[in-house]
Structure 1
Amino acid sequence: MIARWQRILLLCILLAMAAWLVWQWPHSPLRAVLGALVPLSIYLVVMAVEFVLMHITNRTDAAPRARLSQVVGAWWAEVWVALMVFCWRQPFRHQSLPDWLPAQPTEKRGVVLVHGFMCNRGLWLPWFAQLQARGHAYVAVNLEPVMGSIDEYADIIEDAVRQVTAATGQAPVLLCHSMGGLAVRAWLRAHQADGRVHRVLTLGTPHGGTWLGRFSRAVNGRQMSLAGDWVVALQRAEPAGRAALFTCWYSNCDNIVFPATTAALAGAEHRLVEGVAHVQMAFDPGVMEACLEEIGRV
């Protein structure tokens, strides 16, 4: 569903840009070009506003505050990474590579990949070849309804966990980006599945909610409000010791999940990565290598 929406939105933007160019070029080529670049300019400004709000909000956070050079570098990296994810991989390539479940059980542990808000399995495309090359079976889920309650995703995750467990004979690692980590916690609550997962790795997950959640009109977006009712109720329902299953990566330049330490979970293992933006975190070489090492541990 989200792939269709993103294709339609991208097509509408490109058509509008082309129409403006055709209309204005005979009168003023400069005005034609500048007008056609308006959508890109809006995108750059909106992204910049996110980073400004993040940097201001993080002033009182316990995480080390990012240097201005780190913020600018993270903004520029996120501009390009987000374009690649939301304008190419998710709308057009999300089904280009299938899940990999070997016919015979393997000694290597399998992985369930769980994307975040307004995403689909296309987010994880760069991971697939590396996981398969290392012998890790994997299933990458699509969380739907796209704007529904996070609680509704539990059965989707349950099905993926069952598939990977059947293919490997072992409890899988769950690798989650952003909202995906909350969806996994909701799955653990719904299915009391602590004994059926080896480890949960979260990248930029708003475990305590996020400052930006207040502006969302989607059900799952509102559930991620900073210290909101849903995230508080989720934490209260969790048994002591469950957080020990988690390793949480968080960043002082996360432009979506801030203040920075809201991506930490009390009782979990924490990994701070400095100067890395929200979507960028899913592809940061250091984060990827650390996650692959964690997945490869027996």
Structure 2
Amino acid sequence: MRIANLSGRLVLVTDTGAVDVEEASNGTFGPDPSAVYRDWPEFLAWAGSAALPAGKPFDQAALGAPVPEPAQVFAIGLNYRGHAIESGLDFPVEPPVFTKFRSSLAGPCGDLALPGDTVDWEAELVVVIGREARHVSAEDAWQHVAGLTVGQDYSERTRQLVPPAPQFSLGKSFPGFAPIGPVVVTLDELDDPADLEIGCSVNGEQVQKARTGDLIFSVPVLIERLSAVLPLLPGDLIFTGTPSGVGSGRNPQRFLSAGDEIVTWAEGIGELRQRCVPGTPHTTASA
């Protein structure tokens, strides 16, 4: 099953196009793309047995973030060994966790306004929680996942690393800095949800490519560690970390400029596409 947000409405994407869920379910499920995760078991049961109508063709540009209003957004740092090495940091013994604020979420295609001249790219697999998880073991963790999508953890490095205390969440939460999509794909659609190719290109040049099987902390382990501290709620998002190849890890460093096009993909899910445009410059106060 491939779930999307088409012009603000919950749809299923099939071989023939988009099927409006509210219409197809005769109102059993509403149009809100985020609300469906609160009724995930019921929705799965309906979708598995429903005789869906033919889908309608749609414009990819009309797709929004497939989960536009999660209660919580978790992001994991240094979760690929290559990225830790290029960052000059030790491998973590616990998942480093920060957030991307919800207002940074965006759909899979569109403009990315650059608030400064040190904006970096970070391709990521994103987990969507389908069932509340509290003190869940890694062995049981996949049962709490609704599906997977693709994300970008765009980062304004100057704001992120301003001394004396880095501001990861602020530096990664400018408007449009968390595009996700184009769809949420349920696990049964993927040959191996634990090992997907993921990558990113800038102006057609491949800058990142890895497999999610190389994560230091796998999806089940992330759910285990996070749910040991606080409940993971239906519709929550987990950005699982980025592989090596970010601009700040290059010599010389490379950052995004107006006119650049970034394409991010994950095997079996789809791709994101952003075009960089000038934004409102940000300032940082001196201590």
TM-score of the superposed pair, with normalisation by structure 1: 0.27
Q: Point out which structure has higher relative CO (alpha carbons under 8 A, 6+ apart).
A: 2
Higher fraction of strand: 2
**TM-score using structure 2 length:** 0.28
Q: Determine which structure has more spread, i.e. the larger CA radius of gyration.
A: 1
